[in-house]
Amino acid sequence: MVSTVVKPISEPHPVASAIHGVLNTLSNALSWAWLDTVCQYRRSRIGPLWETLNVLVMLLGLSVVSSAIFGSSVSDIIAYVGVGIIVWSAISALVIEGGGVFVRNAGYLSNSTLGLGLYVGRTVFKIMITFGHHAIIYVMGVVFALVPLSWTSLLAIPGIILLFVNGFWIVMVLGFICARYLDVELIVRNLMQLAFFVTPIFWNYRQIASNRQFLVEYNVLFYFIEIIRNPLLGEVPPLAHYLTVLGVTVAGYGLAFFVYRRMRGQLAFCV
């Protein structure tokens, strides 16, 4: 008589299972984001490059206005303004689109069991794809020798990663709050318009008086812009900028965890 030994089926490690779930969600979110982009511009000849063209027109207009106000030539300031506008467009989209992420997907939330991370990732990745199209403007600046190109430019990569890593908690938090309190979305839109003028995008923060430096020092958006803009302009960002962004990242995910725990059960009734 032959005896057989039955080996117990080993269960996957909880950490490995969690990592696999996160990667699967991100993969699905990226696929959805790409499909959203394709469908949005399905009948357009140049697709999302229309938004890039709008950014380019805005860049040229602000460069002319800024040079007239601050007395510098357009060629000297166009690179500074250009990179600032490109990064700001991503920041603004994360904040504004994040406010309506759950309201836009109310039908899915009510009739499916898909995780909330899928909707958040879908929004962030769609904005990332658009940001990639806007980067064509930077390439044009390099071709026409308006923007310097050096090894320092590679330091913009961790800055871009940090920006979109923070995008996940920004979209999550604003999505919950704006779904619960609908008026907050309009308030956020108005605040972003104000933030555009008080953030050094088309004006150089080095030219303002020392007693007005607090407009920059206490503006978190400034640090996110500078860790991308400085390397692309051939400058190494100060370590304090990275530490500030990392601090905001940790605090932001802590806030997202708290908001998720408090408001997750109420979301279906809000949308």
Tell me the per-residue pLDDT of 51-89, one tens digit each, with 9 for 90 and over.
788 888 888 888 888 887 777 777 778 888 889 999 999
Please say if the pLDDT value at position 108 is more than 70: yes
Average pLDDT of the chain is: 84
For residue 15, the model assigns a pLDDT of: 66
Quote the strand ranges of 81-230, DSSP E. Answer: none
Q: Which range is least confidently modeled, 24-33, 224-233, 249-258?
A: 24-33
For residue 182, the model assigns a pLDDT of: 84
When pLDDT is averaged across residues 111-138 and rounded to a whole number, the result is: 87
Please say if the pLDDT value at position 43 is more than 80: no
Distance CA 180, CA 268 (A): 10
- Residues of the chain with pLDDT > 70, as a percent, come to 90
For residue 11, the model assigns a pLDDT of: 61
Angle at 109 between CA 130 and CA 269, to 5 degrees: 125
For residue 13, the model assigns a pLDDT of: 64
When pLDDT is averaged across residues 162-190 and rounded to a whole number, the result is: 91
Q: What is the CA radius of gyration of the chain?
A: 22
Cβ atoms within 10 Å of 9's Cβ, excluding its own? 5
Q: Taking a C-beta distance cutoff of 8 angstroms, is the pair 109, 120 a contact?
A: no
When pLDDT is averaged across residues 103-109 and rounded to a whole number, the result is: 79
Q: Computed from CA positions of residues 55, 60, 61, 65, in that sequence, does the dihedral angle turn out positive or negative?
A: positive
- Residue ranges of domains in the chain: 16-270
For residue 62, the model assigns a pLDDT of: 82
Q: pLDDT band at 9, cuts 50/70/90?
A: low
Please say if the pLDDT value at position 119 is more than 80: yes
Q: Taking a C-beta distance cutoff of 8 angstroms, is the pair 122, 205 a contact?
A: no
For residue 239, the model assigns a pLDDT of: 94
Secondary element (H or E) of residue 67: helix 49-70
Please say if the pLDDT value at position 12 is more than 70: no
Distance CA 124, CA 91 (A): 10
Q: pLDDT band at 254, cuts 50/70/90?
A: very high
DSSP assignment, residue 233?
Answer: T
Cβ atoms within 10 Å of 229's Cβ, excluding its own? 25
Please say if the pLDDT value at position 8 is more than 70: no
pTM: 0.87
